[in-house]
Structure 1
Amino acid sequence: MLSQETLRKLQEMKLSGLAKGFEDQLANPSAHHLSFEERFGLLVDQEMTFRENRRLQRLLKAAKFRESGSLEDIDYLPERGLERSAMASLAQCQWIRQGANLLMTGPTGTGKTWLGCALGNRACRLGLTVTFHRLPLLLEDLAIAHGDGSFRKRLNQLAKADLLILDDFGIAAMNAIGRSDLLEVIEQRTGNRSTLVTSQLPVDRWHDYLSGGNSTLADALLDRLVSGAHRIELKGGSMRNRRGQNTELRE
């Protein structure tokens, strides 16, 4: 009865990991031979692990990744142009903590989205907050936000994420409002938060895509996105041709 009362109190205090560890020790005779300090240390470790796993699940759910990529599964085919040393450096996520951007370009099917999500997944595992958006859909949402009065709130939400992933940059035409909204999003993050952009367009074609007759706005956007940014230029054929293997399959 005393054990059940203890378990009830632990659950009420939301110490679920510690409660599970306590139950495991009660059911495991070998644990009874451990000292009090050893058993208590194991309980604390289990509570900490439980909290870390729960936080990770919250971060992954909030990120809404399009792909379930993992850096351990990267296919380093020579023709892709991916360097292990560069990826190992990016995997440390120091660039995110420093507020630097990452621009990822390459033909369709070369794994940009998958790789971006893999880096985002890694950031979540290090306790960083990540938000994934396809840029065309995000701009549609922001256009609606202008109408219902929630635009400023949406900007503030986008500004808070440690890493914002903007997928499919350049895949759809962008009107003047979209360009202005994108500038607002990037402006809120510049110098403080990181933005990862994936695009089929080479970076040297971004100015033409963004200008739309307003080269000043395009200059402002490029300055904020490109200045000091890390770059990955994926090459080679489509990874979709390698279906059935443990590699990236998406764009």
Structure 2
Amino acid sequence: MLIQQTLTKLHSLKLSGMAQGFEEQLSNAAAHSLAFEDRFAMLVDHEATHRENQRLRRLLKTAKLKVAACVEDIDYRHNRGLDKSMMASLLTCQWIERGLNMILTGPTGCGKTWLACAFGNQACRIGKTVLFHRLPLLLEDLQIGHADGSFHRRLALLAKADLLVLDDFGLAALNAQGRTDLLEVVDARSGGRSTIITSQLPVDKWHDYLGSANPTVADAILDRLTSGAVRLPMRGESMRKVRARETGTA
């Protein structure tokens, strides 16, 4: 009876990890021979691990990454322009701590979105808040925000995330409102928050994409996105075709 009361109190105190560890100790005969201090330390470790896992699940759920990618699965076998030593440095996420942006460019299928999601996953692991958006859909949502009065709330959420992933930059044509909204987003994040941009367009084509109607806005967007940014120009054939050949489904 006392054991059940203890478990109930642990759950009521939101110490679910410790409660689970206590139940495991009760069913493990080997644990009974350990000193009290050792068993208690194990319970504390169990609770800490449980909370860390819960936090990671919450961060990943909020991030809504397009694919479940992780850095351990980065494929270096194919020549995509990924330097292992540079990648090892980037995977520490110090560039996020410094508020730098990352630009991933390359042909369709080369793995830009996958790699962006892997960096997003890594950022979540170290406790950073992450948001993933396809840029064309995000700009549509912001357009709706102007109509229903939620624009500033949406902008504040985008500005607050430690890492924002903007996928498919340059894929859809921009109207005047879209350019202005994109400037608002990148301006709200400049100087402290990191953004990953994926694009099939090389960076030297971005001004043409942004600036046909308003070169001043284009200059402002480019300055905020590219200044000091980490650039990863990727190359190679579609990884979907490569995977299909490797699995014999091509």
Normalising by structure 2, what TM-score? Answer: 0.96
Deviation digits for residues 104-125 of structure 1 (CA, Å, limit 9, x no counterpart) = 0000010000000001001111
Equivalent residues in 2 for 1:1-251 (5 A)?
Answer: 1-77=1-77, 79-243=79-243
The 1:63/1:31 distance shift into structure 2, 3 A limit, reads same
- Give the Cα–Cα distance (whole angstroms) in 2 for the partners of residues 75 and 23 of structure 1: 41
- Give the Cα–Cα distance (whole angstroms) in 2 for the partners of residues 86 and 142 of structure 1: 35
Gaps of 5+ in 2: none
- Give the Cα–Cα distance (whole angstroms) in 1 for the partners of residues 43 and 178 of structure 2: 52
Deviation at 1:144, TM superposition (A): 0.1
Question: Any conservation in 2 of the 1:120–1:130 contact (CA below 8 Å)?
Answer: yes
- Give the Cα–Cα distance (whole angstroms) in 2 for the partners of residues 185 and 211 of structure 1: 17
Task: Specify the SS of the correspondent of 2:55.
Answer: helix
- Give the Cα–Cα distance (whole angstroms) in 2 for the partners of residues 78 and 2 of structure 1: 60
- Give the Cα–Cα distance (whole angstroms) in 2 for the partners of residues 153 and 245 of structure 1: 46
CA RMSD of aligned residues (A): 1.3
Deviation at 1:95, TM superposition (A): 0.4
- Give the Cα–Cα distance (whole angstroms) in 1 for the partners of residues 212 and 174 of structure 2: 8
- Give the Cα–Cα distance (whole angstroms) in 2 for the partners of residues 78 and 246 of structure 1: 12
The 1:17/1:245 distance shift into structure 2, 3 A limit, reads farther
Question: Any conservation in 2 of the 1:176–1:212 contact (CA below 8 Å)?
Answer: no
- Give the Cα–Cα distance (whole angstroms) in 1 for the partners of residues 210 and 72 of structure 2: 35
Q: Which of structure 1's runs of 4+ aligned residues deviate more than 4 A?
A: 244-247
Deviation digits for residues 76-132 of structure 1 (CA, Å, limit 9, x no counterpart) = 145311101111111000101110000000000100000000010011111111000
Task: Specify the SS of the correspondent of 2:196.
Answer: strand
Question: Any conservation in 2 of the 1:129–1:161 contact (CA below 8 Å)?
Answer: yes
Task: Specify the SS of the correspondent of 1:132.
Answer: strand
- Give the Cα–Cα distance (whole angstroms) in 2 for the partners of residues 59 and 152 of structure 1: 23
Task: Specify the SS of the correspondent of 2:198.
Answer: strand
- Give the Cα–Cα distance (whole angstroms) in 2 for the partners of residues 168 and 17 of structure 1: 40
Deviation at 1:34, TM superposition (A): 0.6
Q: For structure 1, which segment, 195-204 or 74-83, has the greater mean C-alpha deviation from structure 2 after superposition?
A: 74-83
Task: Specify the SS of the correspondent of 1:144.
Answer: helix
Deviation digits for residues 180-219 of structure 1 (CA, Å, limit 9, x no counterpart) = 0000000000011000000000000000101132111000
Normalising by structure 1, what TM-score? Answer: 0.96
Task: Specify the SS of the correspondent of 2:53.
Answer: helix
Task: Specify the SS of the correspondent of 1:109.
Answer: coil
Question: Any conservation in 2 of the 1:105–1:233 contact (CA below 8 Å)?
Answer: yes
Deviation digits for residues 144-202 of structure 1 (CA, Å, limit 9, x no counterpart) = 00000010000100011100000000000010000000000000000110000000000
Deviation at 1:28, TM superposition (A): 1.0
